[in-house]
Amino acid sequence: MINGAPLLEVRNLCKRFPTRQGRAPSPWIIRDLTFSVADREFLTIVGPSGAGKSTLLNMIAQVDVASAGEILFQGDKIGTADPKAMRPGLDRRVGYVTQDDNLLPWRTAIDNVLFPLEVQGRLDDKARAHAQVLIDAVGLTGFERYYPHELSGGMRKRAALIRTLVYDPPVILMDEPFGAVDAQTRAQLQEDLLRLWNLGRKTIIFVTHDIAEAILLGDRALVLTRQPARIAAEHMIPIPRPRSVKSFLTLPGFAELYERIRAEVQ
């Protein structure tokens, strides 16, 4: 199913925040974490709250430094211990959809979506048309001229999601992007993401604490332990695509996988 050399590799990654003077040494958040992601693979990472999932993505996105270990992108080492040498987003090759939508409040929905293209100097008619396709795909049609505070929570999440998709980075990190919305909206967002991903498969690392979400979306799921985060288990998810939020709960194998992961997350 997935083959070829890994696009992104994490090797023996460790993280602890600097110890404050006069205090006990700060604990390890992540300890000896190793995994890889293949090109066009949808990897989900499940772990308990506070397991260092966001910290892991921050290091891959190059907005935080690792304490030890390395991160490789297409075989090149990208991790660095020097905060000044960090390249956030790795020259636009790593997109990051965070828990908060982080939309610019003074820009309308469409201008937020176009913002990456604008800063990258790629804003032309073709790019605009592509943005409109994405806006239509997630049902934001008609809301283009609305400011973020005029949109619902789910709409803001959609806008944030397609703001990253629009500039098409090879790897997209997602940090519980559908947290803090109601179950109905969440299911709709998951459906949107599945559809978008089927339109053009991308490499995605999707972090969540929702086991069902991890199974529904991923080709493969990693289970993290409590802090310091290590890999507790790895599961291939054999449920065929295209998947649907409505029907997959009843698919053979789902319940069993769910129970196994739940036992491992404890």
Partner 1 sequence: MTTIDPTADLAAPAPLISRKQIIILGRLGLALLLLWGWQEGAETFGSVFFAYPMDVVRRLIEIAGNGQLVTDLLATLRVSGIGFVLGCVGGVLLPFLLRRSKRWTDAIEPYVLMSQGIPKYALAPWLILWFGIGDLPKLVIVTTVVFYIPFFNVFAGIRGVDQRLVRMARIIGASETKISREVIWNSLLPFFFTSLKVALPRAVGACIVGEFLVSTEGVGHYIEHARELSDTVGVFAGIVVATALVLLVNALVEYLERRALAWRPVDRDMAL
The residues of the shown chain that bind partner 1, judged by CB under 8 A, are 61, 63, 88-89, 91-92, 94-96, 98, 100, 102, 104-107, 115-116, 119-120, 147, 149, 163-164, 167
Give the contacts of 249 (CB within 8 A, at least 6 positions apart). 212
CA proximity to 215, closest of 201, 194, 196, 192: 194
CA proximity to 230, closest of 17, 23, 45, 6: 45
Supply the minimum distance, in Å, between the C-beta of residue 158 and partner 1: 16
Residue type, 61: A
Contact 229, 46 (CB under 8 A): no
Supply the minimum distance, in Å, between the C-beta of residue 218 and partner 1: 23
Supply the minimum distance, in Å, between the C-beta of residue 206 and partner 1: 17
Contact 60, 173 (CB under 8 A): yes
Measured from the CB atom, the residue of 115 and 258 that comes closer to partner 1 is: 115
Instruction: Compute the half-sphere exposure of residue 69: CA atoms within 13 Å on the CB side of its CA.
Output: 21
Measured from the CB atom, the residue of 102 and 227 that comes closer to partner 1 is: 102
Measured from the CB atom, the residue of 60 and 216 that comes closer to partner 1 is: 60
Measured from the CB atom, the residue of 4 and 121 that comes closer to partner 1 is: 121
Supply the minimum distance, in Å, between the C-beta of residue 101 and partner 1: 9
Measured from the CB atom, the residue of 39 and 111 that comes closer to partner 1 is: 111
d(C-alpha 47, C-alpha 55), whole Å = 12
Torsion, Cα 48 52 56 57, to 10 degrees, reads 70
Supply the minimum distance, in Å, between the C-beta of residue 28 and partner 1: 24
Measured from the CB atom, the residue of 104 and 263 that comes closer to partner 1 is: 104
Q: What are phi and psi of 100, to 5 degrees?
A: -85, 145
Supply the minimum distance, in Å, between the C-beta of residue 89 and partner 1: 4
